[in-house]
Amino acid sequence: MVQELETTPKKLQILAKKGITTKEDLLYFLPRKYNDFTNVYREVLPIHAEQSGCFIGKLVKLTKSQTANNCTMVKFTLITGNNQFVTVKFFGKAFMFKYLENFKNTVVAVAGTLHFDDADGFSINEPAHVVPEYSVRKISKIEPVYTKFTGISEDYLVGLIDDAIDEE
């Protein structure tokens, strides 16, 4: 039995353009890649550069500013267990400043990809998650990443897919 999708007409139209019209179609809509955040690092070393994982440290120096192209940048420093400084940046997500204020001077887990260059040192751009350290188990997992749809957030799409799986 083919089950039609239950969502708004506008979202149905967006999904239909990608060939998704039934719950069964959602079951065969595969991620384009996976982010692996299963490794948890309390210390950051040069060998960790270009690796994804959960990086644990104290959140300090939280700032919000405008970039040259008028984009809001939220930035903080993560100080890891071996006293390495990691610059963490969000672009175009001003709302993150208010969320992150709750964690100033506390130990957090940041899920993302660690980068290193000689000029700027360690950095994580656009992390997937920032949570209190005690919640690291919630984010230290492998996460699917789906193709983006204009007009449908990834969280909403994942919710539709989860609903389709639950009904199988």
| DSSP assignment of 87-107 | EEEEES-THHHHHHHTTTTSE
Write the CB contacts of 102 (distance below 8 Å, at least 6 apart in sequence).
Answer: none
Longest dimension (CA), the chain: 59
**How does residue 145 score in pLDDT terms, banded at 50, 70 and 90?**
confident
Residue 115 token pair: 């980068």
Using DSSP's 3-state secondary structure scheme, residue 30 falls into coil
Contact 114, 55 (CB under 8 A): yes
In tens, the pLDDT along 94-131 reads 999 999 999 999 999 999 999 998 888 999 999 999 99
pTM above 0.85, yes or no: no
In tens, the pLDDT along 1-59 reads 457 788 888 988 999 888 888 888 988 888 988 989 999 999 999 999 999 999 999 99
Using DSSP's 3-state secondary structure scheme, residue 132 falls into strand
Q: What ranges make up the beta strands (E) of 12-106?
A: 33-36, 40-41, 52-66, 72-79, 85-91
